[in-house]
Amino acid sequence: MTQPMATPSTSAPSAPAEWVHLTSIPFAGGTVERYRLPNGLLVLLHEDHSAPVVTYHTWFRVGSRHEKPGKTGLAHLFEHLMFNETEGLKAGEFDKKLEENGAESNAATWVDWTYYYESLPKERLDLAIKLESERMSRLVLREPQVASEKDVVANERRYRVDDDVEGAASEVLYKTAFTVHPYHWPTIGWMEDILAFTPEDCLNFYRTFYAPNNAVVVVCGDVRAKAVLGKIAKAYAHIPASHIPPEDIQPEPPQREPREVTLKKPTTSAKVYVAFRGPAFGDVDHATLTVLNEILFGGRASRAHRILVSEKEMATDIRGWVSTFTHPGLYEMNVTARPPHGAEELERELYAIVEAVKAEVVTQEELDRAKARLELSLLQSLDTAGGKAEQMGFYETMLGDPAGAFRRLEAYQRVTVGEIRTAARRYLQTESRSVVRVLPEEEGPDADADGASDAAEGEVAE
Amino acid sequence: MTIERLEVAGTPVVVERDPRIPLVSMSFMFRTGGASDPQGKDGLLRLMLRGLRRGSGGRDALAFEAAVDALGGEMSAEVFTSSCGVHAQVISRNLEPFMELVGQMLGDPRFPEEDVRRLRQESIAEIVDARDSDRELANLALRRGLFGAHPFGRLAAGRVSTLEKLGRGDLVAAHQAHVRAANMVVGFAGDITAEVAARITEKLIAGLPAGPAPESALPEPVQAKGRRLFFVDKPERSQTQVLVGRLGTHARDVDHFPLVVANAAFGGTFTARLMREVRSKRGWSYGAYARLALERARHSFSMWTFPAAESAAECLALELELLGAFYKEGITEKERSFFGKYLSRSFAFDIDTAQKRIGQALDVDTLDLPADFYSSYRAHLDAVTREQANEAVRARLSPDDLVIAVVGTQATLLDAVQKAIPDLAETTIVPFDAD
């Protein structure tokens, strides 16, 4: 399923006067229409009449990358606070109104963005427009709400990180691989920062980043564009744009030596989290490495699965991921050992697999399989209105192209075996590698009762 | 949005065409699940289904996986408590060659000795890995506490001790017994017509083991008396998984929909009582939910929280109080109206894709649901009165007979948890790495 490039539209639905129609882009058998209001609010509209539902996404270009040391976790805490009181809605009313109308609603925060969504029966779209415009400009941030939500987030952190082996290891991995760039800290934030936030911190963050000129609204579902645009203009046109400060981030300096950390955890099997410094999502190498990752880790016929799980029976779980971040991120490779095999043995095997793709080109058959798997994966993500809205919102926020997923698919199709080897040589370098080993507590010569908490501090050995 | 219902050589086939995305989804479901594993052979059905992929039709396991990938296909096997099956998706231009693979896999699996051994070892290792998940440990403790020796107490994933004893012969026998047309229902959704679905199903059925459907009837589980604590002891827990459960309803029970509405008001949504009291007011737990499980026989009602260890006892005490008040006073008319509307309106998202609608049609068959369970779902909910909801709560959810599963560190938490449970009848300590 390929998509032609965007063309200036002469057949776009007529929009109310205040809107500027930017482009009309083919998307999943229809089009996505891009519009902008004078205050900077960007709206993406995709009509999909296959089910009587609509999904309303609001993406803000703010994530944990925009935080400062000492204030980590603010973007995520803020996501929680957005479900609280507004000037027009008492605490708890927001969720009540959505539930009463049968809506699904949630939000997510990551390093580069935060998004909120509501999926509703189509005749209830007005509610999403009203609630989202209300909380974009009239959120109430007071001590009781902030204090209670801090506790909830602290519990979320315990659940996802402190008592979760994978969550804890992932946190240490990024902390180790990044030293000055904000990807160093976890999106959920350090516990001491979470517990120290004040309503003033939250208010400053809100006034800066929650504004129409920092947002993308995506409407996808059984609606008619003209009516939706009229309603959105009425609800948002009066909200002033904010001054988004220029980004003030130190790029991560090149890594010259491998880094490693060993953690002791109450787990029954060793785990190895290896990461090489990777490209930014917008970099041409990102698509190439994504295809390589599919060859190495995608499915049971992939190299790592075949060698580590099937043939050598050393691992139970293998995963690879090229981080999809605005700035250069990591190429992560995670392996869980099958006892009695241990972390070091597994690492050696993993590095042999890595070295092999640097030395020899992969086979054409491996490449074709990877491309077919990536095509299937994109098609699967377009099954629901919510899935389509997420694709459009993510690609618009990251690359300024709501149909970017299809462009990526075309890029995957163009990748050659030679390009894969070059990308492997460029990125999979020993000196730019960070490793977190997780060992069962009873394993190793220095295991003691305090092992886990000491190790969890993440001493970096260079 | 039209589901076509066919019968192909006696096997029900449901099809919904949706050609917007060039993808075909399919499910081959069987009316037997983990509860049908023989006594002492927990995990057999799952091992057999996973073994289907380890070679068939002249291909070994690796060649089979490579062939699936090359076609832009994907397969997964699932074993639920009372049903199991294989789901697959493929880019529609490759449907025909993909169906050859599916047919060979279901009809002619080889189960090579060496692959069975590997699969068994993989499955055992995964069970050991799953002990990293406190949530999973709590689920296991609750199930064992609630169902004991009832087939629902068997673990579809198996136990280390039961998997160790399974061999190739067991898998061959399980395949011959369960993967039969008479035990199967089939669903297709996406870029496929009913004619094509019928043709490929007919071909597939011709290659399956013959014979009648295996026994799939399940005895009714019995609610044990008293409040019983199953404490899973795991070191260094800063957070505590807490599940509180008892038997619930079956979809055939006249009070099922009334209990669904009452449960939603108690703990089914973000604004329900549990979430409001535990998270919104006190910030004790990130999540706080109650749910009713749907299986072929009566299964469970349960509530789930995961507070910090220092608030676990208080949180549990509060949950028991809330359950007590719910039992005694039921829900208000305002709650019935609010949550009834929520359930009825949000049903739109249970049926917003062809794949989901086909999934429901298959569930009706595999879980013995009333024929109009989903087709009249909204009408069932809208008809529930407050009196019916509260009668259902009183009939089904006595707080006197409960299983309480807690995952925490015994040395620092057990005492406080025991004190938080009035009239606690018995405590069982379970090591987190127990079989």
pLDDT value of residue A7: 43
pLDDT above 60: residue B71: yes
Q: Name the amino acid, one letter, at A419.
A: E
DSSP assignment, residue B210?
P
Give which of B50, B95, B345, B381 to mutate to test A binding, by max A Cβ within 10 Å: B345
**B353 interaction partners in chain A (CB closer than 8 Å):** 51, 383-384
**A313 interaction partners in chain B (CB closer than 8 Å):** 118, 121-122
Give the gap in angstroms from C-alpha A6 to the nearest C-alpha of chain B. Answer: 20
Give the gap in angstroms from C-alpha B134 to the nearest C-alpha of chain A. Answer: 8
Q: Name the amino acid, one letter, at A54.
A: V
| Distance separating alpha carbons of residues B95 and B100, to the nearest angstrom | 9
pLDDT value of residue B1: 65
Mean pLDDT to the nearest integer, B372-382: 95
**B433 interaction partners in chain A (CB closer than 8 Å):** 268
- Give the angle subtended at the CA of A338 by the CAs of A333 and A343, to the nearest 5°: 55
- In tens, the pLDDT along B337-354 reads 999 999 999 998 999 888
Chain A residue with Cα closest to B310: A155
**Which of helix, strand or coil describes residue B435?**
coil
Select the residue of B69, B118, B276 nearest A373 (Cβ to Cβ): B69
pLDDT value of residue A383: 85
- Give kind and range of the element (H or E) at residue A121: strand A114-121
pLDDT value of residue A13: 54
**Interchain contact A452–B (C-beta under 8 A):** yes
Q: Shortest CA distance to B25 belongs to which of B77, B81, B75, B79?
A: B75
With beta carbons less than 8 A apart as the criterion, state whether A362 and A423 touch.
no
| Distance separating alpha carbons of residues B146 and A430, to the nearest angstrom | 52
pLDDT value of residue A462: 32
| Distance separating alpha carbons of residues B348 and A221, to the nearest angstrom | 13
ipTM of the complex: 0.83
Peptide bond into B431 cis (omega under 30): no
Mean pLDDT to the nearest integer, B238-260: 95
Size of chain A in residues: 462
pTM of the model: 0.86
**B53 interaction partners in chain A (CB closer than 8 Å):** 300
Q: Shortest CA distance to A187 belongs to which of A278, A75, A280?
A: A75
Ranges in chain A, pLDDT < 70: 1-15, 443-462
pLDDT above 60: residue B192: yes
Q: What is the CA radius of gyration of chain A?
A: 23
DSSP A301-360: TSHHIIIIIIIS--EEEEEEEE---SS--EEEEEEEE-TT--HHHHHHHHHHHHHHHHHS
**Which of helix, strand or coil describes residue B272?**
coil
**Interchain contact A301–B (C-beta under 8 A):** yes
What percent of the residues of chain B are helix, what percent strand, and what percent coil, each to the nearest 5?
45, 20, 30
**Interchain contact A372–B (C-beta under 8 A):** yes
pLDDT value of residue A15: 66
| Distance separating alpha carbons of residues A31 and A404, to the nearest angstrom | 13
Give which of B17, B346, B381 to mutate to test A binding, by max A Cβ within 10 Å: B346
Residue with tokens 């050991």: B128
- Give kind and range of the element (H or E) at residue A59: strand A53-60
pLDDT value of residue A453: 34
Give the gap in angstroms from C-alpha A343 to the nearest C-alpha of chain B. Answer: 15
**A299 interaction partners in chain B (CB closer than 8 Å):** 65, 68-69
Beta A315-322 vs A330-337: how paired, if at all?
antiparallel
CB contact under 8 A, A50 and B20: yes
**Which of helix, strand or coil describes residue B351?**
coil
- Give kind and range of the element (H or E) at residue B194: helix B194-206
Residues of chain B above pLDDT 90, percent: 82
Select the residue of A50, A103, A269 nearest B129 (Cβ to Cβ): A269
DSSP assignment, residue A16?
-
CB contact under 8 A, B118 and A301: no
With beta carbons less than 8 A apart as the criterion, state whether B417 and B231 touch.
yes
CB contact under 8 A, B347 and A102: yes
DSSP assignment, residue A268?
S
| Distance separating alpha carbons of residues A431 and A422, to the nearest angstrom | 17
pLDDT value of residue A445: 40
Residues 64-103 of A with CB under 8 A from B: 92, 95-96, 99-103
